[in-house]
Amino acid sequence: MKLSIIIPLYNKEKYIERCLKCLYKQGLENDTFEIIIVDDGSTDASFSIVRNFAIQHSLSNIKLIKQDNQGPSAARNNGLTQAIGEYLYFFDADDLLANNALNILVRLCKKNGLDILEFDSKEIEEEKLFNFPDSVDYNQNDFNISIYNANSFITKYNFRNQAWRYLIKRNYLLESNITFLEDMRAYEDLIFTASVFLQSNKISKVNIDAHRYIKVANSIVTTKNPKKNLEFILGMVKAVEEIDLLIEKYSSLSEKNQSVLQKLKAKQHVVVYALVVRAFKYRLEVNTLSTILTKLKTLNAYPVGIKSGNSGFKSVINAVLLPFINNKASLLLGLQIIRKF
């Protein structure tokens, strides 16, 4: 079995059939891959849509598992225990892959004996899917790739947070004893991918436009529900803590690896920056933010130390916002004023 595709599924009845259809256009024979779908306590028709799809198309390579609602990390870990493929791909039920992408990516992994292969993805709104390429083309030159260890890869490319940007060798993941943290409801991918990268010596990146992350309304990232937003923000705090543990774990590495640790610290500060922005956007309670900032300061994650750069709109925004964000008294006063209006 070449590939196991693991999909956490929760109330995605609108998207899951589209997702399945795209996976059967990947240029892979059905007996060379499996799709493991872990339904995380859906309350809509998601589970039955998958079951009916498998029956109608006589598909024996779909494994459908049902669990009580425990979150996507638990669902992915559950799927991992069932996987038998040489390589793993953690896919989301509302996203898409270009036709033939996985066929090419798996071939690259196997030919080069990779632990991790990164490929390109773009974030897009549903209504703009028309500009997504129908299929991935390649030639033999695409298979001449460079292989890096963790230090050289992260120093050159950094790493992206999302698990769906990578194919990962299953034996490497099992031997490294890495799983998704199940007590996190935000940024769990960041901790997972950081852990995966830091232990590998066989990583590569290929410029294949393979994946689209579809912006979906009412996800935990975009919801306006106060309870869900507090849950997300507390997940961000947990991510900051976990990054701190990774930094502590790898701080004893030789001097040449300090650039990797600096990038981890930068990731940590980016999460804190995003946390403060989210706190304002969704009007978090002032006392709650104050308590969080105090905790983050003990981790040396606040004040935020993001470099604003030399030019561009984002650097201007950072130059204006950072002094405000890093002044706790002004920040809390500003949030208090916004909450009144």
The tens place of each residue's pLDDT in the chain, 341 residues long, gives 999 999 999 999 999 999 999 999 999 999 999 999 999 999 999 999 999 999 999 999 999 999 999 999 999 999 999 999 999 999 999 999 999 999 999 999 999 999 999 999 988 877 766 566 677 776 655 567 999 999 999 999 999 999 999 999 999 999 999 999 998 888 999 999 999 999 999 999 998 889 989 887 655 555 668 788 899 999 999 999 999 999 988 877 655 578 888 999 999 999 999 999 999 999 999 999 999 999 999 999 999 987 644 455 566 566 778 899 999 999 999 999 999 87
Q: Give the end of a domain, one of 215, 239, 271.
A: 215
Interior angle at CA 122, CA 119 and CA 128, nearest 5: 140
Domain range enclosing 204: 3-215
Question: Is residue 197 in a domain?
Answer: yes
The length of the chain is: 341
Contact 152, 240 (CB under 8 A): no
Residue 91 and residue 66 in one domain: yes
Examine the domain organization and report whether 9 and 99 are in the same domain. Answer: yes
Do 175 and 259 fall into the same domain?
Answer: no
Residue 40 lies in a domain: yes
Q: What phi and psi values does residue 135 have, to the nearest 5 degrees? A: -150, 165
101 and 209 together in one domain: yes
Do residues 183 and 238 both lie within one domain?
no
23 found inside a domain? yes
Report the CATH number that the domain containing residue 171 is assigned in CATH: 3.90.550.10
Residue 197 sits in the same domain as residue 254: no
Displacement of CA 3 from its chain's centroid (Å) = 19
234 within domain boundaries: yes
For the record, the structure tokens of 65 come out as 């598992």
Q: pLDDT, tens digit, for every residue of 224-259?
A: 687 888 999 999 999 999 999 999 888 776 555 788
From 180, 215, 250, the end of a domain falls on: 215
| Interatomic CA distance for residues 204 and 172, integer angstroms | 15
Q: Is 118 helix (H, G, I), strand (E, B) or coil?
A: strand
For residue 111 the two structure tokens come to 């030919």
Give the global pTM.
0.91
Residue 58 exposed, middle or buried by CB count within 10 Å (0-12, 13-18, 19+)? exposed
HEC string of 299-340?
CCCCCCCCCCCCCCHHHHHHHHHHHHHCCHHHHHHHHHHHHH
Q: 233 and 108 in one domain?
A: no
**Does residue 221 belong to any structural domain of this protein?**
no
Point out the domain boundary residue: 192, 215, 238.
215
Residues 263 and 169 occupy one common structural domain: no
Residues 143 and 240 in one domain: no
- Say yes or no: 195 and 279 in one domain: no
pLDDT tens digits, 11-69: 999 999 999 999 999 999 999 999 999 999 999 999 999 999 999 999 999 999 999 99
Residue owning tokens 């999460």: 271
Question: Residue with structure tokens 């033939």?
Answer: 100
Residue 220 lies in a domain: no
Q: Is 11 part of any domain? A: yes
Number of domains the chain is built from = 2
Are 273 and 131 part of one and the same domain?
no
Q: Verify that 230 and 211 share a domain, yes or no.
A: no
Domain for residue 150, yes or no? yes
Task: Quote the CA–CA distance of 187 and 327 in Å, as a whole number.
Answer: 25
